[in-house]
Each structure stands twice: as C-alpha cells, then as structure tokens.
Structure 1
Amino acid sequence: MSIYVGNLSYQVTEEDLTEVFAEYGTVKRVQLPTDRETGRMRGFGFVEMSTDDEETAAIDALDGAEWMGRDLKVNKAKPRTEGGGGGNFRRGGNFSGSRERY
C-alpha cells in the first residue's frame, strides 16, 4: 500500500519528499506524476514505506501539516480503478435521452 500526498508545491522533488517521510521510517519509493503535455509536476505524489506502522505514523503526523507554504493532504492511497472517467456521453445526436419512435 502507498500513501497519497496532495497539495504539494510544484517545486517539490522526490528527494524533498523522501527527506520528510524518512522521519517516520524507511521510504521505499516516491513517485511525483507529471503532466504528459507540459512535463510539469501535477501537485500530488505517492510515497511507499516499509511497514504499515510507518505509513500510519507518517499519515498521522503529516496530514494537514504546513510544508513549503501549503497544507498537505496525506492519506492512504486508493487503488487505481480500471477504465477511467467518461461516462456514457455520445457525440452528436439527441442528448435529452428521448428517442424518436417509429
């Protein structure tokens, strides 16, 4: 399981995040997703620690804490779902949901 870290400064690095979370245990991995088009960091990341106890300690200590001028949002990461958004939107045609009857 990993930790979601939101509301990050766009200047944060993997090393910065590792340093902060290392105070609560062994950091196994840090990911900072970037925008595909701009390459700019997206303002959130994921941290994986060695044990559940270390993750819990980090979440308890850092959720809501101010860091680099921002209040962090720190919690257990939710598993990624298959598919993605989109819903049932059709291009063109009648959007009201009614159908012509023959």
Structure 2
Amino acid sequence: MVDQSLKIFATKLPREWTDEQVREYFSAQAAVLEVSVFKDGGKSLGCAYIKFQSKTEAEEVIKNLSKEVISNKKIKLRWADGEAERLKIDRAPLPKPARSKYIQYTSSDGRPYYYNTETGLTQWEEPIEMAQPIKTPSAPQGPPGCNLFLFHLPIEWNEQDLIKYFSPFGNVISARIMHEKESGRSKGFGFISYDSKISAVNAVKMMNGYQVLGKRLKVEIKKGEYLPEYVLYPSYQPNPL
C-alpha cells in the first residue's frame, strides 16, 4: 500500500525561486524526491508541493521550517490534501436515471440549487444525473480585474466542472486547470476569467470557501489585478440550504 503522507504543501515561498532552489532549500532538512512549483505563464506563484522519502522526514520538515522567515515572509507548511484521490483509478461514468429525482431552484442571488424529492434535502452541487456537457471557452484571459486564481480544487474536476460552478456569476471566457506534464493529473489549482469585473467580484464573494467533494475552494482575484470594487460588496451568507 502506498503511503499517502509523504507530500507537503508550502506557501509564502520567494516567487523568484525555481524548482531547483526549492529542492535545495528543503534538501537541507531531508531527502527530497519531488518538487512541483505552481506557475502561471512561467512565473512562480510562491507555492509548491514537496515530496519526501518518509512520513517521519516530512513531519520533521514541517516542525523545523514552519516558522522560518525568508525575504520577510514566514513560510507556511502543511500536509498536501487529496493525495489519496490523486492515485485513484479512473472511475466509470455513472449511468443517468431515466427520471430525475431532483428539482432545480434559484436562490435570491441567482445561484442554482437542487431539491431531492426523495430525501427532502437541498444541495448546491449539481447532481450528476442532471449535468450536461459544457463547451470549454478557449480565450486566454479577461481584462485586468476579471481573472481569478482558484486553489484547492477537487482532483476529479476538469474545465467543464469549472464552467458549471462559476458560470452562474457571469460570462466565463476562459477556464483552465493546471496539470502535471508527465502524468496529466490535476495539480489542484487553476484559473477562471470573466468579461466583467462585477462577475469576478461576485464569484469571489460566493465561491471563496465553498465546500465541494471534501474540498474548501480558495478563490481570489489574480495577483497584481487590484479590484477596489471588491470592498463594496458585503459578505455572502447562503440561505436556501
């Protein structure tokens, strides 16, 4: 059985660091097997996955380096989530029932949710049996302030899932999930672009912290695209459920 507790996730790393520099830094504490720096357009996002030979070594690294300060920033280390999901064998598609037991409703802010006529429960996630194929937009990105960075995405998601969950807030012109080159597996982060700043603001307000498939999404305006309108919107508290 493969030990899933060998990889940690590091944030607040210097953005100028390359994969080799990250490897060199952590190798001073333990043997590093793998390094994967998150990048956008070839530029580091200041976070990375680091894999070690054993759980004990990984635990020591988290213990010894969690308070280290580099370039006036205290790096943050934690266990990488979703490692078991990354190694699952691809699941066969679920058959769609002839008749759906779900009814779709829309909340006061325009967001769809679903009522199960058999259990009497409601949910935000669109039921698999109701899902329809979605064409993925191909534009590279939107205007400044319209592009979102998404982290902690479910490993099972693809670009169509991004469109399904983020299109209620506006016209999505680009959706990307970053993948590992060799394995093709999702890295757990990606990007969404709208043609409107208001759409981007609403998506952050409503989807940041949203829980799905055991994950809590992190959604924020892409770095360097300051959006002052964001502070004009109050916190969102869903009430249909």
Q: TM-score, normalised by structure 1?
A: 0.74
Equivalent residue for 2:13? 8
Contact 1:34 1:40 in 2 (8 A): yes
Equivalent residue for 1:56? 59
Pick aligned residue for 2:77 from 74, 78, 92 = 74
Q: Which has the higher contact order (CA 8 A, sep 6+)?
A: 1
Equivalent residue for 1:89? 168
Residue type of the partner of 2:38? P
Residue type of the partner of 1:54? E
CA distance in 2, matches of 1:15, 1:75: 20
Contact 1:64 1:74 in 2 (8 A): no
Residue type of the partner of 2:12? N
Equivalent residue for 1:28? 33
**By percentage of residues, which structure has more strand?**
2
Post-superposition offset of 1:6: 0.3
Q: TM-score, normalised by structure 2?
A: 0.34
After superposition, the CA RMSD in angstroms is 2.2
Deviation string for 1:23-66 (max 9, x for gaps)?
A: 2221001010211xx32111100100000000000011111310
SS at match of 1:48: strand
Moved more, 61-70 or 1-10: 61-70
Moved more, 65-74 or 53-62: 65-74
Relative to 1, partners in 2 of residues 1:90 and 1:72: Cα closer, same or farther, differing over 3 Å? closer
CA distance in 1, matches of 2:61, 2:14: 18
Post-superposition offset of 1:87: 5.6
Relative to 1, partners in 2 of residues 1:69 and 1:91: Cα closer, same or farther, differing over 3 Å? closer
Relative to 1, partners in 2 of residues 1:90 and 1:5: Cα closer, same or farther, differing over 3 Å? closer
Residue type of the partner of 1:21? F
Relative to 1, partners in 2 of residues 1:88 and 1:13: Cα closer, same or farther, differing over 3 Å? closer
CA distance in 2, matches of 1:49, 1:10: 22
